Amino acid sequence: MSEASLLVASFAALILLGTAGLVALPGLQHGQRLGGLDALFTMTSAVCVTGLAVVDTATHFTRAGQVWLLVFIQLGGLGLLTITTAIIGMLGRRVSLRSEVLAAPGFERSHGRELVTIVARVVAYTVTVETAGACLLWLLWIPQLGAGPAAWHALFHAVSAFCNAGFSTFSTSLEGSARQPAVLGVVSLLVVLGGLGYLTSDELVRWGRRTRLGQRPRLSAHTFSALVTTGVLLAGGFLAFAALEWHGALAGFAPAERLVNAWFMTVTPRTAGFNTVDYAEVNNATAYLTIALMLIGGSPGSTAGGVKTTALAVLAALALARIRGKLYVSIHGRAVPDDTVQRTVTLTLLAFALVSLGVFLLSLTETQRQPLEAARRAFLPLLFEAVSAFGTVGLSMGLTPGLSDAGKLTVILLMFLGRVGPLAFFAAIALRGAYQPRGIRPAYDDVIVG
């Protein structure tokens, strides 16, 4: 098996194992047990760290059932980090912006024991961040929940937030913590760290150390583009959500609480899926901006989904280069290889094609027999659901529990493709295409565009 095939197979195996356990093991669910399709939907959402759910995680699953979900959320999130790191090591060289799995400087050659060391660092980084987040949330929730219950809720949400999963042990997600800025701050930090990924975080730490020593280190183009794009999206989204919902979904909060929740509304579409407001009540502009953020997602080599921040940076640099009449695309003073630009355009087109297909299929399965007016009203929630599934976000406008069987299968496929499709596609290109001799090209025959 190629590394890309191994990646797809590993996620498929995790999903099937989790589904089998959810169906067969006793004591995981209250009341009526989930059927095979609903169990498959739930475990696909968990392993692909999405967060969409057909049942209430807080009330349908027992504590053992929630532990079962948490294990597969952790395996799905940590598995992605370790597998991408392993692929980088298998490449045996620095790949810069050449593929979906990008290595920071310092990991140019990773074989044998070196690779094991890197994977161990990824695991240690994940456990350290999640443990710190769980401890902080536990302290914050003790007055409200008590020490024992707070410990479990804190652990679950810390893992779910860092893995960008969006599952919650509260029936209303984090709406009950909407007036607790410290809780939202901790969860936001966990989401951002999980969305940046280990390699970017590690390079940033090493850059800070060298800067304090009086050196003048240079961030790689990958880390620079990931950080700048993330910062711009967070700042711009915060201002936009605050303005759009100040007298809307945020109207019931005090001014300071409105700002905190506007910030959280900006962070959570980065494939996290937690919510402090009801997205069925937001206006169309807010929903559309959320869809855009969900489609972009987080950074490569992280637990986040979406097209990725670096892809947006490359597309922006491409547009700027063409406007200026430059022959090359550059980021942070370095030229981006043409192959990378082409792959980025391909990834973006592929993402739009898959989302469009998903919306089309959901429109057929969910609104075909509805009156025209009702079908028109359902289009935005359907688009929201499709992008949320493909971006492995988990936010919903209330559509998920009422999906038909065909609709559930469509969402399952979108979640799986959104998690492993682009990654496997780019890994396969990086591992194979780089070593194959280029064939003879046909003669040029230009096409008029624009």
- Residue in the block written with tokens 């042990």: 169
- Residue 185 has, within 13 A of its CA and on its CB side, a CA count of 9
Distance CA 372, CA 369 (A): 9
Give the pairing of strands 334-336 and 329-331: antiparallel
Which residues neighbour 19 within 8 Å (Cβ) at sequence distance 6 or greater? 36, 39, 40, 42, 43, 44
Residue 103 sits at the vertex; the CA angle it makes with 319 and 313, to the nearest 5 degrees, is 15
Secondary-structure breakdown of the chain: helix, strand, coil percentages, each rounded to the nearest 5: 65, 0, 30
Query: Residue 277, exposed/middle/buried by CB under 10 A (0-12, 13-18, 19+)?
Result: buried
Query: Residue 16, exposed/middle/buried by CB under 10 A (0-12, 13-18, 19+)?
Result: middle
Which pLDDT score, from 0 to 100, does residue 340 have? 86
Which pLDDT score, from 0 to 100, does residue 199 have? 79
Report how far apart, in Å, the C-alpha atoms of 192 and of each of 165, 182, 186, 209, 239 are: 12, 15, 10, 21, 18
What is the tens place of the pLDDT at every residue in 360-385? 999 999 998 889 998 999 999 999 99
Letter string b/e over residues 357-374, b meaning 16 or more CB atoms within 10 A of that residue's CB = bbbebbbebbbeeeeeee
Q: What is the largest CA-CA distance in the chain?
A: 73
What is the tens place of the pLDDT at every residue in 314-345? 999 999 999 999 889 999 888 998 888 988 89
Closest by Cα among 248, 232, 234 to 286: 248
Q: What is the DSSP string of 269-306?
A: TTTT---SS-GGGS-HHHHHHHHHHHHH-S-TTSS--S
| Rg, Å, the chain Cα set | 22
Report how far apart, in Å, the C-alpha atoms of 320 and of each of 244, 327, 349, 376 are: 29, 11, 19, 37
Which pLDDT score, from 0 to 100, does residue 449 have? 67
Instruction: Give the bridge partners for 61, in sequence order.
Output: 29
Intervals of the chain under pLDDT 50 = 91-112, 431-436
Which pLDDT score, from 0 to 100, does residue 424 have? 64
Query: Residue 238, exposed/middle/buried by CB under 10 A (0-12, 13-18, 19+)?
Result: middle
Distance CA 389, CA 412 (A): 8
Distance CA 86, CA 138 (A): 33
